[in-house]
Copies of this chain bind each other. A is one copy, B any other.
Amino acid sequence: MPKPISGFPEFLPNEQIRFNTMMEVIRRNYERVGAVPIETPAVERIETLTAKGGNEKEIYALRRLAAEESDDGTELALRFDLTVPMARFVVQHAGHLTFPFRRYQMQPVWRGERPQAGRYRQFYQCDIDIVGDGALGLVNDAEMPVVIDRIFTELAIGRFVISVNNRKILTGFLSSVGLTSDAQISAALKIVDSMEKVGTERTKTDLRELQLNDGGIDRLITFFSAKHSTDETLAFLQEHLTNDTIRMGVDELTTVVAYMRQMGMPEDHFRIDTSIARGLDYYTGTVYETRLVAHPALGSICSGGRYDTLLRTLGADRDMPGVGISIGLTRLFPRLVEAGVLSVGPATVAPVLVTTMATDYLPHYLQFGAALRNAGINTEIFTEPKKLSAQMKYAHRKGFGVVVIAGEHELTSGTVLLRRLSDGEQVQVTQADLVLTVKQFLEHTA
């Protein structure tokens, strides 16, 4: 008996059917704002993945199981996100694309993380990004959370809050307390990023290791733990414009918030959180995180940000700034099911099951099935010579709406029995009325 592979989840059919409906909601809303689909190969060159942001310890590279004379393939590795492959795609195909390039991509990514509850080594990311040629207006930074807001609202997975910040505020403020080298800023960002998780005392200890004095540490913690309404936070930030970087960050954030409001984003669906940084190295401006209010332990379920230099790192010969956001649906889905926020439905995509009373009658059942399918009704034919009671059990277990039954009696009289499973109602109709009556039964069920 094969054992599951740790960290590589797979769903049962009823779960997969539900998962797919959620993927479709995401796809529809991404297309609603004009994003086009792309897909990239599962693998990238290792040099592409490690150019910016890739954690080598988590990257799965390929090897040939049996050596060939040409050992190619070994310079390849599985992608760990969709942003880097998209950036590589845009640089490579720029001459064939139109800008601003607005794309979505819903594919798995692989990370060799230590397996633990809620962490997977393969999971879907559902990304939307906009990349400009030369420049990209801040209105695009506002469009990302608005799309996400529509998606999470339609998915009806409970109250959520999209946190918005700007990395320039972080880096500007850090430089104002004396942290200026890339290494220091990067280390401090990681510490700030986990402040909520590890608490104030641990944060202070960690910051002391960066040679910060206690005055700087106190200013820093006060700055990043201030929780206000959006407008209060913007006012608070206006009083702390101690250098040009922080000023630019606050200006950008103020503009993005204004655009979000103009696009109708509900006030209680977002907030400014000056402490979020996002771990990945490629973000340069706006950053996002999203949390479910009732499930804080899930962490951020949808994150992203602005990356002004990533495409240059991957070979672009001019500025190609981008902004994007990503929903980690694989991680989210099982937790929502467990928590009872999502209910999983039937294990069939067909509402109708044609039963088999005797294999000799199969030609009739095949004709019934063909008639229903030709009318656009998803129909399964139970082909095995099992007892009707076993077939009815199968029908209930999978969740069919209507079952078609025809034994010798019905077939000789040119009729069929239709049984609706929700209430057991049963009618005998002529075979000519089969399709019409099934349609009526199904409308009544829905």
Contacts and interface: CB of A to CB of B under 8 A. Distances in A.
B378 A91 contact: no
Interface string A236-277: 000000000000000000000001001110000000000000
Interface stretch (A202-210, A359-367, A413-421): A359-367
A161 interface: no
A51 to B, nearest CB: 10
Nearest to A105: B16
Give the 3 A-B residue pairs with the shortest CB-CB distance, closest first: A34-B380, A34-B350, A8-B41
Given A1-B92, A12-B96, A98-B347, A34 B379 contact: yes
A56 B66 contact: yes
| Copies of this chain | 2
A38 B38 CA distance: 22
A441 interface: no
Query: For the side of the interface on A, what is the size category?
Result: 35 or more
A13 B391 CA distance: 46
A130 to B, nearest CB: 8
A264 B32 CA distance: 40
Nearest to A364: B262
Nearest to A132: B384
A57 interface: yes
A40 B13 CA distance: 11
Contacts of A65: 46, 50, 56-57, 59-61, 77
Nearest to A40: B10
Contacts of A263: 366, 369-370
A53 to B, nearest CB: 14
A176 interface: no
Contacts of A16: 36-39
A296 interface: no
A361 to B, nearest CB: 11
